[in-house]
Amino acid sequence: MNFPSRLIENAVNEFAKLPGVGRKTALRFVLHLLKQSDSEVAGFSETLRKLKQELKQCKNCHNISDHDTCDICSSHRRDHTLVCVVEDIRDVMAIENTQQFNGIYHILGGIISPMDGVGPNDLNIESLVEKVKREEIKEVIMALSTTMEGDTTNFYIYKKLSPYTVTISTIARGISIGDELEYADEVTLGRSIINRTLYEKNLKNDSQTR
Amino acid sequence: MNFPSRLIENAVNEFAKLPGVGRKTALRFVLHLLKQSDSEVAGFSETLRKLKQELKQCKNCHNISDHDTCDICSSHRRDHTLVCVVEDIRDVMAIENTQQFNGIYHILGGIISPMDGVGPNDLNIESLVEKVKREEIKEVIMALSTTMEGDTTNFYIYKKLSPYTVTISTIARGISIGDELEYADEVTLGRSIINRTLYEKNLKNDSQTR
- pLDDT tens digits, A30-63: 988 988 888 899 999 999 888 888 888 888 889 8
Residue A198 has pLDDT above 80, yes or no: no
* Å between B77 CA and nearest CA of chain A: 17
Residue B76 has pLDDT above 70, yes or no: yes
CB contact under 8 A, B32 and A18: yes
* Å between B164 CA and nearest CA of chain A: 30
Question: What's the pLDDT score for residue B83?
Answer: 93
Statement: B6-52 belongs to CATH 1.10.3720.10:
no
CA atoms within 13 A on the CB side of A156: 20
Question: What's the pLDDT score for residue A148?
Answer: 87
The distance in angstroms from the start CA to the end CA of chain B is 52
CB contact under 8 A, A66 and B7: yes
| Mean confidence (pLDDT) of chain A | 86
* pLDDT tens-place string over residues B87-140: 988 888 888 888 888 999 999 988 999 888 999 999 999 999 999 999 889 999
Domain boundaries, chain B: 6-52, 55-168, 172-210
Contact (CB, 8 A) for A106 and A86: yes
Residues of B with CB below 8 A from A6's CB? Answer: 66
Instruction: Classify each residue of B57-72 as buried b or exposed e, where b means 16 or more C-beta atoms within 10 Å of its C-beta.
Output: ebebbbbbbbeeebeb
CB contact under 8 A, B7 and A51: yes
Residues of A with CB below 8 A from B47's CB? Answer: 7, 10-11, 14
Q: Check residues A169 and B178 and name the one with the higher pLDDT.
A: A169
Environment class of B27 (CB within 10 Å of its CB; exposed 0-12, middle 13-18, buried 19+):
buried
Residue A169 has pLDDT above 70, yes or no: yes
Question: What's the pLDDT score for residue B171?
Answer: 86
Among A6, A7, A8, A86, most B C-beta atoms within 10 A, so best to mutate, is A7
**CA gap A26, A24 in Å, rounded:** 5
Residue A26 has pLDDT above 70, yes or no: yes
CB contact under 8 A, A14 and B38: no
- What is the architecture of the domain spanning A78-171? 3-Layer(aba) Sandwich (3.40)
CB contact under 8 A, B90 and A27: yes
In this complex, the residue of A4, A41, A93 whose CB is nearest that of residue B48 is A41
Q: What is the mean pLDDT of residues B166-177?
A: 84
Say which range, A1-10, A175-184, B24-33, has the weakest mean pLDDT: A175-184
CB contact under 8 A, A11 and B47: yes
CB contact under 8 A, B30 and A41: no
Question: What's the pLDDT score for residue B209?
Answer: 64
CB contact under 8 A, A4 and B88: no
Strand B167-170, strand A56-57: pairing: unpaired
Q: For domain A6-54, which CATH number applies: 1.10.8.420, 3.40.50.620, 3.40.50.2000, 3.40.640.10?
A: 1.10.8.420
Q: For domain B55-168, which CATH number applies: 3.40.50.720, 3.40.1360.10, 3.30.565.10, 3.50.30.30?
A: 3.40.1360.10
CB contact under 8 A, A28 and B5: no
- Total beta-carbon pairs less than 8 A apart between chain A and chain B: 152
% residues pLDDT > 90 (chain B): 30
Which residue is closest to B71 within chain A, CA to CA?
A: A4
Residue B28 has pLDDT above 80, yes or no: yes
Residue A16 has pLDDT above 80, yes or no: yes
ipTM: 0.73
Residues of B with CB below 8 A from A75's CB? Answer: none
CB contact under 8 A, B88 and A41: no
Question: What's the pLDDT score for residue A193?
Answer: 79
Alpha-carbon distances, residue B70 vs A5, B57, B62, B63 (angstroms) = 8, 8, 9, 7
Strand A56-57, strand A64-65: pairing: antiparallel
CB contact under 8 A, A45 and B45: yes
Residue A6 has pLDDT above 90, yes or no: no
Residues in chain B: 210
Residues of A with CB below 8 A from B48's CB? Answer: 11, 14, 33, 41, 44-45, 48
In this complex, the residue of A1, A30, A70 whose CB is nearest that of residue B4 is A70
